[in-house]
Amino acid sequence: MTAAPTSPGTSPLARRSFLGLGLGAGAAVALTACGSGSSSTGAAGASQGTVKWGWALPTSWDPVFSSAGWDVHDLSLVYSALTKLDPHGNPVPALASGWTYNADGTEISFTLRPGLTFSDGTALDAAAVKKSLDRGRTDPKSLVSAQLAHVAKVTASTPSTVVLTLSQADYQIPSLLAGKTGMIVSPKAFEGDPAGLATQPVGAGPFTLTSYTQNARAVLKRNPGYWDAANIKLENFEVYPLPDASTVIASLQSGQYNVAQIPGSQVAAAKAAGLEVQVIPSMVVAVLDVNAGQAPFDDPDVALALQYAIDRQALLKTQQFGYGSVSNQPFPPGYVGHDPASDGLYPYDPARAKALLAKAGHPNGLELTLTTSAAEGLPEQVQAQLKAIGVNATIKVIPQATATQVVYVQHSQQLFTDQFAGRDSAAQAFQVLFGQQGLMNPGRSTPPELLAAVAKVSATPLDSPDYPKVLQAATALAVRTMPNVFLYTVPRILARHRSVSPIPADVVVQRFEGVTAG
């Protein structure tokens, strides 16, 4: 799901940029939101206040070239998609008021809401949707084209009807189009100045970007033309980079932020400072990415030994202060893809890990390199746990900006500490993690039976009573046949001033409908 998306995390382990897109660190852009107006009132009456969110800034404001999974949170402020996900991750109407499939699942028709416009004042009709989706499908540098591989053709059959013709049955499309892949961009903007979208987004979201200083601040204004403007109560919104853990509470107290992501280590301090704290389950999971194409992990017994060598509960206690849950699968408890039967599949068992290493021809242990973008914390604790089974892991620190190139393009590292940010579609999550070209599958190998199981997920309607069983079966197969070592879930921990009303507990994409700030 590029979740599908969902949290920048609270440590440097979270991948902030995949391909190094963006401007120089000092770049600043002032924007004029043509046609969006600036009134403090809208369909819902007076809007209230400003949220100053200490979170993360996107790698790009263009959803086609955004290169980090959690960019979706920022991009959802300025763009709308045909669908959106409800708090539980189910697709519901957004720009489209509804959709229907044909009998065999190879064609899906979306009906657009009437009177939609982009923030530049141009019409958001079926022709615009077609152009936007086709750009994502066909641009040579698109980072969402792989997710649209099953879309053979997009047709604007009427001004309000968009038809997607598919190369095979795929019932994941409504979920897939809820995220970056389905965000609709103004054709006027990308036909006139496509490079400008990196810093000057033109969409139809709840807010419009009015100024942007890269690595410093994004300032947004309420968009009264948003299709669901009645539920957007905030007049202004500001986004800042992820706060430093050592100063985040002081920054909240000073008013630099009134909502901020905090690590588990700061929860007690936040509460003591009189701040409200919300722990929101997310789709983010910490993981060790294992390259099964490189020795020693080309031996399945060595890869399996790694699963039993890791004390996940100890990692959760130390790295997350207990916030989250131990996990050995990509989906969190409560999500439809979570397989309860796989909970506890790989208990901490160093004796079994040693036996597997001996079976693989390493009775005296072995040497390997643990690559990371963080010099402290999780890598050191994993290193110590591996030492207990005779594995000497040398920690290799690489810059965050080059991590994807080194780990997932060059496929040159044995083992890498990472976080998977989830995706909007379960099938998309499988593709990213386990697909033969999956970004987080450095070994680029997938068992045929898993490919078949994922294909069955796509071919099963989301409202079918069989869907949970089919999806959970794919999850069960993946965690038994792929080498990824999942560790623990990473919830979204938000501290906020009492003047800010509660934040919706959205699992996949953080939304702000109904939020007010005094």
Give the residue from 175, 491, 128 showing the smallest Cα distance to 327: 491
Q: Over the stretch 287-343, which tens digit does the pLDDT of each residue have? A: 999 999 999 999 999 999 999 999 999 999 999 999 999 999 999 988 899 999 999
Q: 296: cis peptide before it, omega within 30°?
A: yes
Task: Give the contacts of 311 (CB within 8 A, at least 6 positions apart).
Answer: 348, 385
Mean pLDDT computed over 47-62: 93
Give the CATH fold of the 285-489 domain.
Answer: Dipeptide-binding Protein; domain 3 (3.10.105)
Looking at residue 212, its amino acid is Y
Q: What is the radius of gyration, based on Cα positions, of the chain?
A: 23
**pLDDT given at position 408:** 75
- Residue 2 in this model has a pLDDT that exceeds 70: no
Give the residue from 68, 79, 57 showing the smallest Cα distance to 19: 68
Burial class of residue 100, CB neighbours in 10 A (0-12, 13-18, 19+): exposed
- Residues of the chain with pLDDT > 90, as a percent, come to 79
Q: How many Å is the maximal CA-CA distance in the chain?
A: 72
- Partners of 286 in the beta sheet? 419, 488
- Residue 400 in this model has a pLDDT that exceeds 90: no
- Residue 454 in this model has a pLDDT that exceeds 90: yes
- Partners of 46 in the beta sheet? 41
- For residues 397 and 68, the model is more confident at 397
- Partners of 420 in the beta sheet? 285
Exposure string over 300-333, b if 16+ CB within 10 A, otherwise e: ebbbbbbbbbbbbeebbebbbbebbbbbbbbbbe
- Residue 437 in this model has a pLDDT that exceeds 90: no
Average pLDDT, the chain: 90
CA distance 153 to 145: 13
- Partners of 280 in the beta sheet? 492
Q: Over the stretch 341-379, which tens digit does the pLDDT of each residue have? A: 999 999 999 999 999 999 999 999 999 999 998 767 999
Q: Are strands 236-240 and 50-54 parallel, antiparallel or unpaired?
A: parallel
Domain 83-190 has CATH 3.90.76.10: yes
Give the torsion sign (CA, 300, 301, 302, 306): positive
The model's confidence at residue 47, banded by pLDDT at 50, 70 and 90, is low
Mean pLDDT computed over 110-128: 98
CA distance 283 to 7: 8
Task: Give the contacts of 473 (CB within 8 A, at least 6 positions apart).
Answer: 339, 453
- Residues of the chain with pLDDT > 70, as a percent, come to 91
- Residue 120 in this model has a pLDDT that exceeds 70: yes
Give the torsion sign (CA, 12, 18, 19, 23): negative
Neighbours of 91 (CB within 10 A): 24
H helix count then E strand count, the chain: 14, 21
The model's confidence at residue 403, banded by pLDDT at 50, 70 and 90, is confident
Mean pLDDT computed over 511-515: 96
Question: What's the pTM value of the predicted model, to 2 decimals?
Answer: 0.85
Q: Is 327 helix (H, G, I), strand (E, B) or coil?
A: coil
The model's confidence at residue 91, banded by pLDDT at 50, 70 and 90, is very high
Domain ranges of the chain: 83-190, 285-489
